[in-house]
Structure 1
Amino acid sequence: MLKEFKEFAFKGNLVDMAVGIIIGGAFATVVKSLVDNVFMPPLGKVMAGVDFSKLKIVLQDGVAEVKNDAGEVVTAAVPEVAVNWGQFVQDFVSFVILALVVFIVIKKIVGSMKKEEIAAPKPPPKEVVLLEEIRDALVKGS
């Protein structure tokens, strides 16, 4: 059973997938940083100094906790309820950039695989080779 687990866990495809997931997670962090720190600040500057991560529609204002002189809570705090659409815009831009990069990488990989297929044509089937030999022998014999 241990041997079977080792074969499963250390198969090439599983290890490749694990490496891909780890690198993908790190790459997503880089793309998020690129969007948050490089793309969005100039875009915000162009739009009159807007910080996209702070743009929101407040549905209900938050209320601070109220205490009496004895320190007892009279009114509990109520958190703000808001739709953070600016953060959504930033996350969407991050997604689009990440999806574009993944698309380009996959396109390059598939393109290189097709070039390898074109470069090395399959050998003809044995029947075809045999028929060609018979044809050549008949041509030679006549």
Structure 2
Amino acid sequence: MKLFKEFKEFAVKGNMMDMAIGIIIGASFNKVIDVLVKKVFLPPLSLLTDGVNLQSKRIILREAVAGDNGANVIDEVAIGYGALGEAFIDFIIIGFTIFIVVKFMNKLRNKAQDTKDETVVTPKDIALLSHLTELMEEQNALLKAKQ
């Protein structure tokens, strides 16, 4: 029963919900990037490389051997370096996109934490801390003046 109580506290605190939302968004983001790479970036790249399809690029280590009935007796063994190249392009695009999103979010957060910027609402905790800092500086200035 204690384990269930701990799990309930974990779920209620929002950690589990944050993880679930992140996983769902990540899965959707993966689909978007997959389409972006395969349908937007690779076709022009294929056109520039004279119609080369990266997915079909591989180094064949052993050819497939067909039997008398046409079925493969021995399967082909190959290293698919084209699929690796495509995965690498996916990785670069995902990394760059996440970099841009994080940079944008940091810019928004820094703007929201600036108490002097009136264009955005400053969170209450930041505003209170800023006000406390101003009061402490004022108090220190008064104490120095008395000395």
TM-score band w.r.t. shorter chain: 0.7 to 0.9
Query: For residue 98 of structure 1, what is the aligned residue in structure 2?
Result: 94
- For the residues of structure 1 that align with 2:57 and 2:86, how far apart are their CA atoms? 11
Give 1:134 shift. 5.2
Query: For residue 65 of structure 2, what is the aligned residue in structure 1?
Result: 63
Cα-to-partner distance string for 1:23-47 (whole Å, 9 max, x where unaligned): 1111111101111122112211221
- For the residues of structure 1 that align with 2:54 and 2:136, how far apart are their CA atoms? 68
- For the residues of structure 2 that align with 1:129 and 1:36, how far apart are their CA atoms? 61
- For the residues of structure 2 that align with 1:107 and 1:34, how far apart are their CA atoms? 21
- For the residues of structure 2 that align with 1:46 and 1:30, how far apart are their CA atoms? 23
- For the residues of structure 1 that align with 2:63 and 2:16, how far apart are their CA atoms? 49
Query: For residue 80 of structure 1, what is the aligned residue in structure 2?
Result: 76
- For the residues of structure 2 that align with 1:12 and 1:30, how far apart are their CA atoms? 27
Q: CA RMSD in A?
A: 2.7
Give 1:95 shift. 0.9
Letter in 2 for 1:55: K
- For the residues of structure 1 that align with 2:67 and 2:137, how far apart are their CA atoms? 87
- For the residues of structure 1 that align with 2:95 and 2:48, how far apart are their CA atoms? 26
Cα-to-partner distance string for 1:42-95 (whole Å, 9 max, x where unaligned): 21122111111101111111112456xxxxxxxx72111111111111111111
- For the residues of structure 1 that align with 2:36 and 2:16, how far apart are their CA atoms? 30
Q: Which structure 1 residue ranges, 4+ long, deviate > 3 Å from structure 2?
A: 125-136
- For the residues of structure 2 that align with 1:14 and 1:85, how far apart are their CA atoms? 38
In 2 relative to 1, CA 42–27 (structure 1 residues): closer, same or farther, beyond 3 Å? same
Larger Rg: 1
**Which of 19, 25, 28 is the matching residue for 1:26?**
28
- For the residues of structure 2 that align with 1:127 and 1:104, how far apart are their CA atoms? 38
- For the residues of structure 2 that align with 1:131 and 1:39, how far apart are their CA atoms? 60
- For the residues of structure 2 that align with 1:88 and 1:49, how far apart are their CA atoms? 18
Identity fraction in percent: 36
Unaligned runs of at least 5 residues, structure 1: 68-75
Q: Which has the higher relative contact order, 1 or 2, with Cα contacts under 8 A spaced 6 or more apart?
A: 1
TM-score, normalised on structure 1?
A: 0.76
Q: What does 1:89-128 align with in structure 2 at a 5 Å threshold?
A: 89-119=85-115, 120=127, 122=130, 123-124=132-133, 128=137
TM-score, normalised on structure 2?
A: 0.74
Query: For residue 52 of structure 1, what is the aligned residue in structure 2?
Result: 54
